[in-house]
Structure 1
């Protein structure tokens, strides 16, 4: 399948790379990560000014008519700089759900940089199964009462709104009977236990205790929330794999530079053939991850359903396995220095490790790919 960037996509790619190179060095990134919020409101405002927050959305919502491919280009560039701003969680996943639900009013706020989102797609008992939802939403007059717990809700500490999948019908693991609710993050009954993740992100355990929500808080159709959630997660997975390609590019580049200057027996480490072979393997893994990520993004943009789901799982399985391999090789070739916090390589390794488990690890997606290829969608 031929794939080439358009002139507009190339300009977008160049703008992100330029921002990271000029204004998002590792020292700047480290300072932002250590701040109270864990990301920069100033950078977020700049993202809005540059149009990056509106790139994936339709012009009717105030966007620029792009999609997962354009979001992937931004994510890949931000991955090279290890950016901690919540682009994936607010724009790609949260915004993707709002777009699918036709909430253009809120998308306009998001695109302007005035709305932060978090999605509680995981629960303590569910591991990677999106349809394993124990959080309940029960009718109480004209309203719903929500009770349950969501685990590892990324960007929840900064979110203005939470998107919460709940069980409104059926058994705990049935795909049918799930309803999405859009809730104010400060609604009565919502409690957060925030924490910092190993890759310097921010997340929280979210508890819902008798949270009241009106019928207008429902995103999409009652009992059919998976129709929105599943394709949104697949598109976000494709974009995450694009970010993985960016992180892997940084790991390859920094390792190549290090072994080119570090000497052993009076010669650069890069002169040893065994290390040259290992660098070549790292580069191949990065290139293949990038190719599979953009294939998945193209499929998601086409709305291919099961085809897009298979492409997302294939890309994620490969990125999860080979990203770990590239990270381990980078650490090993840096030696003991690679394990220190002062060396950027250690932070990139933490991020590629975290990416490996987001939305499902390699084993999960290999199983899912096999199920989808066999015609089973459960």
Structure 2
């Protein structure tokens, strides 16, 4: 392993037959910084041409999180400065996600603990996606005036039933069974066996991965989606947020009432943008199409007040009382195509 655990924000090295990428900011829930993205991208380039590396193990340091997403304090700071560094971070992050999604060797993501936003982007596109009893998965962006990005509108639009639309428009947190049910993870390993499983992965080569996983995988306890799949399908099959809200208002189940209250607490602008990105994502021919469209929408958020207000309320002041602008879906009106249009002078991500 290169570097020591107090210095490098990503630890890399070859263990057995595996190339390791360990996100190493446990106190910050392994939130991604520009340096972390660059180190991970460099490691993947190196591992791709190393014949000693059979497969990649992608993991988070500590026992709390795989990765809680991008470092939003950094992004908000750079967005306010209008320095172009936030946009550059997203370009590099999306390129990293594209690399992982199209990697020449198997990638095993150990999705233990908290997985949110950019962390989900690192994990949900790879070849082998492992969750545990500790998994807490969310795409919470509509709650901070942002949008589900990192290729989420490609994956969530194709999730089982309407579970992806539920995750995107509520921002709610779900567990291992739900992530598998939605099609965003493949296998569940009991948390207490994760270390043992990891050791078996290191000793295996690519041809043995499936048998190793089969040896350790177990069915998780049923989750939210198994219980409420029919209700979610009935409500979230609608393409627009207003139609979803209307459908929820006519349902008497406590689950529907909670879901309605949650959606109405989110940024109206973010809800409209997210709903449109999901609609477009459902028929997008490639992940790259969605990444580029999400990038345009992300850059537009830097000039919209809700992103800064949402981060203030959730992360900085932590009063959990954002003042959205516009304040309600009725005031927001219809989706504005300008909200996902390219920003003049800002280059698109380049995937290679």
TM-score band (shorter)? 0.3 to 0.5
Bigger-Rg structure (1/2):
1
- Greater strand percent: which structure? 1
TM-score, normalised to structure 2's length? 0.32
TM-score, normalised to structure 1's length? 0.31
